[in-house]
Amino acid sequence: MDETVFKKEEQQYVKLPHFGIPKLIPYLKPLRKVIWSMVALSLLGGLIDTVMPLFQQYALNHFVQLSALDTLLPFILSYVAVLLTQTIGNLISAYQGGVIEMSVDRDMRRAAFDHLQTLSFSYFNQNSVGYIHSRVVSDTERIGSLVSWSLMDGVWNITYIIGALVIMFLLNWKMGLLVLILVPLTAIALGYFQGRLVRLNRRVREINSQITSGFNEGIIGAKTTKTLVAEERMDQDFRSTSREMTRAAVKTGHFRSLFASTISFASYITLALVLWRGGHITVSGLMELGTLAAFTAYALNLMEPLQWVVRALSDLITVQVNIERFTRLMETESDVSDRPEVIERYGDTFHPKKENWEELYGDVEFRDVSFMYPDGHEYVLEHFNLKIPQGTNVAVVGETGAGKSTLVNLVCRFFEPSAGQILIDGKDVRERSQLWLHSNIGYVLQTPHLFSGTIKENLLYGKPDATMREIEAAVKAVSADGIIARMEKGYDSDVGEGGDLLSTGEKQLLSFARAILSDPRIFVLDEATSSIDTVTEKLIQDAIEHLMKGRTSFVVAHRLSTIRQADLILVVRDGKIIEQGTHSELMKRRGYYYALYTRQFTEELMNSGAV
């Protein structure tokens, strides 16, 4: 999925049945006790808030009006008691809110992460890393905050509003009725502003991402801008986005201010009504002064909680998108999955039954294989047949983007053929588990991927129980011992995020060592030797030869000089295999391989300075 779709999705309105809450039940269920308790405490909190002005009423009516201080001590004690209850209630409910938020986050993240471990490659090819990443990280976060804080705010403030209205009715029903009319009117006005605000905020975020890409372009494109002397133009364009941003943001500010001033005005209208009618009743002696004061306090404080309720409701609506996207991820099914009887025998992704695993010998056969990528429109392989006996070294060559990785993807069962079979040791790969196959494959990528952590941790990735002696042997086999010696902390040196503290060549050598340590029966090198300097390349060349001895191997190569010795070379163009044979056979043909080879040979000749 590309960025455009991604961005469009951010702006969608999604409507799910019952606000998508049923989809969240599995994550809420284990927390139901805490959630109920938080809801109960929020109810209590809202109630106490409604009761508080009554103390003022009592003080006025009793102490001030009647000058009677007889009940002062019980008054103080009961105030402190209520205050303490409120404090403790707040303490617990705020803590519980945090626990709910974080636990829901955690559980949803875990579920998403685990599910991703079982999805097939077609999912990863169709969705960008950034897209999937924000499903795991941001969507869960927003849902967590909805079921904790928005829920709490909603319950608390609804309780307060209802409580305040009830007390007002009890104190004086006529005036209560008067105030009651204002509440729905204000709520509608607030709902309108909130709706506008949500939309405006989306717009601001959208322009904001344009500003970021503006900066990005201004910096990455600096060389081009300078050579074209297009600085003025870039400035102008950036400025117009920038101005648009200011306009949208100020408009948001305008609505936010309208929102705030409406609340204030509504509060004072209530106050004015209370003073007018309430004052009247008080003057005629039907109501005490303290009661009037309590009324004014309720009137002034009624509208702000309303704002919170409106906000909580709008959260519920905006989070629908996140719930929907999260659910979609969880409901995506892998198009490569093991059959129940295979799982029965060999175990699943997280619980392998290694005792039932057979040895892998290394014969590979493509039998009448046709294949089309799930997001593709045409077959890249049609009725393809190829027998690869154990120990054969197969090379796949072609230009960048020609589809060289297809065969490898099929052998590794990252994809399954649309028709036909792939046999390993004479048995269809689907008859054994993915994990069994993968545990027997050594895989080295074009862009070597290391994980944050130490060198040792990375080397152990393929074989966690390897001894130090084995590690050293593997490192030596690919001549990576020099790297270790150079590092300050040797094997315990940190490689940085994605291995960034090392050079590409170093990363490549270490990923070779990692592969050799896992002692696989089938070896796959996917463009593993591109973009490195000649000295390192020589080292790697030696390493590869060492690695491939006695194993079935697939080398996807961009640099042709590295695969001249291969037992079989497959030449790919536009996704299809157009030539196959050994190096000398293909050179004699003077076809596509020959053209590719001569072109690269010249460049390499110059680069190596061999002339």
- Which lies closer to another protein via its Cβ, residue 12 or residue 602? 602
The single residue among 37, 201, 390, 439 that binds another protein, judged by CB under 8 A, is: 439
- Which lies closer to another protein via its Cβ, residue 388 or residue 560? 560
The single residue among 1, 5, 81, 83 that binds another protein, judged by CB under 8 A, is: 83
279 within 8 A of 249, measured Cβ to Cβ? no
User: Shortest Cβ distance from residue 15 to another protein (Å)?
Assistant: 28
Q: Is 227 in the site for another protein (CB under 8 A)?
A: yes
Residue numbers 146-175 binding another protein by CB under 8 A: none
Q: Is 538 in the site for another protein (CB under 8 A)?
A: no
User: Shortest Cβ distance from residue 383 to another protein (Å)?
Assistant: 28
The single residue among 292, 360, 525, 557 that binds another protein, judged by CB under 8 A, is: 292
Length of the chain: 611
326 within 8 A of 141, measured Cβ to Cβ? no
CA distance 343 to 337: 9
CA distance 49 to 86: 8
CA distance 214 to 349: 43
Quick one: how far is CA 601 from the chain centroid? 44
- Which lies closer to another protein via its Cβ, residue 180 or residue 260? 260
568 within 8 A of 395, measured Cβ to Cβ? yes
CA distance 611 to 607: 10
Q: Is 84 in the site for another protein (CB under 8 A)?
A: yes
Of 211-219, 364-372, 376-384, 543-551, the window that binds another protein (rule: CB under 8 A) is: 211-219
Quick one: how far is CA 178 from the chain centroid? 50
The single residue among 189, 293, 380, 396 that binds another protein, judged by CB under 8 A, is: 293
In single-letter form, the type of residue at position 359 comes to: E
- Which lies closer to another protein via its Cβ, residue 385 or residue 565? 565
Q: Contacts with another protein: how many residues (CB under 8 A)?
A: 145
Of 154-162, 277-285, 469-477, 549-557, the window that binds another protein (rule: CB under 8 A) is: 277-285
- Which lies closer to another protein via its Cβ, residue 54 or residue 372? 54
568-573 and 393-397 beta bridge pairing: parallel
- Give the list of residues 6+ apart from residue 97 with CB closer than 8 angstroms, or none: 38, 148, 149, 152
- Give the list of residues 6+ apart from residue 336 with CB closer than 8 angstroms, or none: 120, 121, 413, 414, 415, 416, 434
- Which lies closer to another protein via its Cβ, residue 99 or residue 317? 99
The single residue among 117, 331, 377, 465 that binds another protein, judged by CB under 8 A, is: 117
Q: Is 145 in the site for another protein (CB under 8 A)?
A: no
Q: Is 592 in the site for another protein (CB under 8 A)?
A: no
As given in the structure block, the two tokens for residue 52 are 């508080």
531 within 8 A of 370, measured Cβ to Cβ? no
The single residue among 34, 99, 162, 423 that binds another protein, judged by CB under 8 A, is: 99
Nearest to 511 by CA among 439, 563, 443, 414: 443
Q: Is 226 in the site for another protein (CB under 8 A)?
A: yes
User: Shortest Cβ distance from residue 385 to another protein (Å)?
Assistant: 25
As given in the structure block, the two tokens for residue 413 are 């069962």
Residue numbers 47-76 binding another protein by CB under 8 A: 55-56, 59-60, 63-65, 67, 69, 72, 75-76
As given in the structure block, the two tokens for residue 317 are 């609506």
Q: Is 246 in the site for another protein (CB under 8 A)?
A: yes
> Within 221-230, where are the H helices?
222-228
Q: Is 575 in the site for another protein (CB under 8 A)?
A: no
The single residue among 34, 47, 211, 501 that binds another protein, judged by CB under 8 A, is: 211
Sign of the alpha-carbon dihedral angle for 576, 581, 582, 583: negative
User: Shortest Cβ distance from residue 557 to another protein (Å)?
Assistant: 17
Q: Is 469 in the site for another protein (CB under 8 A)?
A: no
Q: Is 504 in the site for another protein (CB under 8 A)?
A: no
Segment holding 296, helix H or strand E: helix 289-301
Of 13-21, 262-270, 318-326, 417-425, the window that binds another protein (rule: CB under 8 A) is: 262-270
Q: Is 245 in the site for another protein (CB under 8 A)?
A: yes
CA distance 86 to 79: 10
522-526 and 552-557 beta bridge pairing: parallel
CA distance 45 to 47: 5
Q: Is 13 in the site for another protein (CB under 8 A)?
A: no
Q: Is 79 in the site for another protein (CB under 8 A)?
A: yes
The single residue among 497, 500, 567, 574 that binds another protein, judged by CB under 8 A, is: 497
CA distance 149 to 143: 10
User: Shortest Cβ distance from residue 608 to another protein (Å)?
Assistant: 8
Q: Is 581 in the site for another protein (CB under 8 A)?
A: no
